[in-house]
Structure 1
């Protein structure tokens, strides 16, 4: 999942800026005749049919026009920070789920708890939790996705594997079989697939940070983090991928597209990337839920995605709320699942997932084993490039003891957590 990361110092500046410009009293009403509503979305977020449906419904209901403005991920932190502090900010903004806490703390977002009730949002707690800060709902979840096993059916058939794995051990045995009976690499997993590792920490119940008095500090030395890293190491042993690179360098979907890889741990939309690189592989792609230690509970997964929020300084807050009612209706949420393959946010969307194999594979883990990175404003700084947790992962894969690798990075992590 592409997600920008926010510099804590930049967001802190919003506290002054938003207070200075004030926020709308929201009394413009939902009558939008001859008006337009500005909605910022990130590149690739708003699929064509969903956009048309929402735009048409919004026009019919309010008389207003939605003006979608597509933003690039590169540099979005500073651009959004600046925009939200101006007198005429975009009315509705897409914000990465790990960014929401920072903007809410800065006073840049409208409390939309009443709107969640009106929509009747029965979103899973794991997906909705990233929208809540200090007990208040400052955004609403738009879409979320989690990783699945994307596998090459042709290779698995060649290896004689007929039943998909239901447990982690069964998955490892399948990888062993592929390695013995085919010339394919069983799994392509680079050493720094950080979000897959984060999912493993969720599965082991690890906390990456802890409170020391009134401040947050690293908890990387915890044995539960070490256990998650040991599981990652077991996965990575089936791969020849570099231990000091992530899944985007090179794009793992392009590696998979060559037809010599048994599986990758992927987001569902990566199938389209593979097919674009090699159309002939289209019918060979399959998906299944990442299995956990036991068959009744899938592996822990990171739920990456985006929220919709109303700018605190918007002069069209009532109109913005009408947009969110439409954009996040069950009908349009289902369209996002079907069209893109995002993870269903609620049980009612399960039927929509049936039309998209990747979404269907993602759903069980999202509902039973999903989670996020620490939901604190300071967390964004930890993930900023270069991410010290990636250095930890590479060090362990190269043979360093997890406790020693944790010591090597916790100073940098604590420094970042101390940013205000």
Structure 2
């Protein structure tokens, strides 16, 4: 699995309420306390990961070798799973799901204490780390992400400049105008949907919060119509519709190719994709392999401003957790802490550090220069949103409805945008009234 990260999360959260019937755990031994003396920590731990690419190229083994310089008596073994969500879901019906694992989307947040050992209180951990609220149950934290991610447009700066665009667009209308300039003045395809890969379309849900710079955007999903006039998701979905409807995307979305799109964007054949910070390093690597300047790869926020400022929502990647059944909880906790704090995984991926006092990666210096406001969404209502999503069958974390949106925009299905989004809103608000009552 080479793609990272918002898409992986989107796929996972879509499964969140499918149910997990694992044996669960007990409260006895449910804490994975941070060890005081590295020399006394022992054991062999199995770390489950979705990063098959890092297992194959030896990167994970290099991390383990560095870890062993601090914890010489701990042996780290990796199991990289291609279909991570599906495979771990099955394994969690037993007690054998590694010592350290990425929390799969299939596990309900309220069930975290059944499956994972506590890493400590949110009151304490939140002083040092971002994103603790995403895995907190009853004041205890059950997972920690090694990197933070933020949605945005990966784009070829050289192509945009050749089209005469020197500033980030500040509204959807400006964005459309800029894509039209790219189409008229360059040979590049202005926007690439990655329709065939499906999962990139799910990333459009993470527009939520950016449009109005609203930390309470998730709560609003749980209490209202996500496709009401002016709502963040409606703004994002309308922009996607307009891009396709105005002929600014690839001619045949069914033939798109995710892996090939990296080199194509790096070479300037494609101009723009909505993905996330996780993709920057992959596109820059593609540029190097293609013999073009990796600095041509840029990243821009969603085209909307609040009080004259762009906004970006920062959230966690997969969260690492300790299996509540692990016989080596101290070693497992040592790995999570070291990997988060000391491994350099965030820098290697040009990612946002979960450490509150860490600076932004250099690749996001344009965000600092432009005064982009970074916010973390309140995830208190996150579980309820996913319950409503499941019962309404809207599928905001799945690609299906946006594939239908693209089909609608390109004339491959009948209907209107207002009718399409209106139907989704009716299903959603109806589910709000009944979600969790059965």
Structure 2 unaligned blocks of 5 or more: none
> Among 416, 425, 436, which residue is 1:400 paired with?
416
Tell me if structure 2 keeps the 8 A contact 1:301–1:365. no
For the residue of structure 1 that corresponds to 2:319, the secondary structure is strand
Q: Residue 350 of structure 1 aligns with which residue?
A: 359
Aligned partners of 2:435, 2:63: CA distance in 1, in Å?
42
Tell me if structure 2 keeps the 8 A contact 1:194–1:390. yes
Are 1:112 and 2:112 matched, yes or no?
Answer: no
- Cα deviation per residue 1:203-249 (whole Å; 9 max; x = unaligned)? 345557436xxxxxx84443314333223334444623368669766
Aligned partners of 2:18, 2:272: CA distance in 1, in Å?
40
- Cα deviation per residue 1:328-348 (whole Å; 9 max; x = unaligned)? 21x33xx22321122333453
- Give 1:375 deviation, angstroms: 2.1
Within-5 A mapping of 1:78-97: 78-95=86-103
Q: Residue 269 of structure 1 aligns with which residue?
A: 281
Q: Residue 71 of structure 2 aligns with which residue?
A: 61
For the residue of structure 1 that corresponds to 2:183, the secondary structure is helix
Aligned partners of 2:372, 2:137: CA distance in 1, in Å?
21
Tell me if structure 1 keeps the 8 A contact 2:313–2:375. yes
Under a length normalisation based on structure 2, what TM-score does the superposition of the two structures give? 0.71
Q: Residue 316 of structure 1 aligns with which residue?
A: 328
Kindly tell me: are residues 275 and 187 of structure 1, through their superposed partners in 2, closer, same or farther at Cα, counting changes over 3 Å?
same
Are 1:145 and 2:156 matched, yes or no?
Answer: no
- Give 1:139 deviation, angstroms: 0.8
Structure 1 unaligned blocks of 5 or more: 212-217
Aligned partners of 1:171, 1:417: CA distance in 2, in Å?
37
- Give 1:26 deviation, angstroms: 6.0
Tell me if structure 2 keeps the 8 A contact 1:290–1:365. no
Are 1:286 and 2:297 matched, yes or no?
Answer: yes
- Give 1:279 deviation, angstroms: 0.8
Tell me if structure 2 keeps the 8 A contact 1:303–1:366. no
Out of 335-344 and 28-37, give the one that drifted further.
28-37
Tell me if structure 2 keeps the 8 A contact 1:23–1:315. no
Tell me if structure 2 keeps the 8 A contact 1:39–1:67. yes
- Give 1:71 deviation, angstroms: 1.7
- Give 1:202 deviation, angstroms: 2.3
> Among 153, 156, 160, which residue is 2:160 paired with?
156
- Cα deviation per residue 1:103-148 (whole Å; 9 max; x = unaligned)? 735721122234983695232xxx4432224543221122232233
- Give 1:13 deviation, angstroms: 0.9
Q: Residue 170 of structure 2 aligns with which residue?
A: 167
Under a length normalisation based on structure 1, what TM-score does the superposition of the two structures give? 0.74
- Cα deviation per residue 1:238-265 (whole Å; 9 max; x = unaligned)? 6233686697667532542553222223
Tell me if structure 2 keeps the 8 A contact 1:144–1:345. yes
Within-5 A mapping of 1:239-388: 239-241=248-250, 252-257=261-266, 259-266=268-275, 267-272=279-284, 274-275=286-287, 279-283=290-294, 285-294=296-305, 296-301=308-313, 303=315, 305-329=317-341, 331-332=342-343, 335-346=344-355, 348-350=357-359, 353-354=361-362, 357=363, 359-360=364-365, 368-369=374-375, 371=377, 375-376=382-383, 378=386, 383=395, 387-388=399-400
Root-mean-square deviation (CA, aligned residues, Å) is: 4.4
Tell me if structure 1 keeps the 8 A contact 2:205–2:396. no
> Among 133, 136, 145, which residue is 1:132 paired with?
136
Kindly tell me: are residues 219 and 347 of structure 1, through their superposed partners in 2, closer, same or farther at Cα, counting changes over 3 Å?
same
Q: Residue 231 of structure 1 aligns with which residue?
A: 239
- Cα deviation per residue 1:153-175 (whole Å; 9 max; x = unaligned)? 443343344x3326235544433
Q: Residue 228 of structure 2 aligns with which residue?
A: 222
- Give 1:183 deviation, angstroms: 2.9
Aligned partners of 2:243, 2:43: CA distance in 1, in Å?
54
Aligned partners of 1:62, 1:117: CA distance in 2, in Å?
28
Tell me if structure 1 keeps the 8 A contact 2:154–2:300. no
How many residues in Structure 1 have an aligned counterpart in Structure 2?
Answer: 396
Within-5 A mapping of 1:40-55: 40-44=48-52, 52-53=62-63, 55=65
- Cα deviation per residue 1:368-417 (whole Å; 9 max; x = unaligned)? 25549972174585659964432553366356133544426865995997
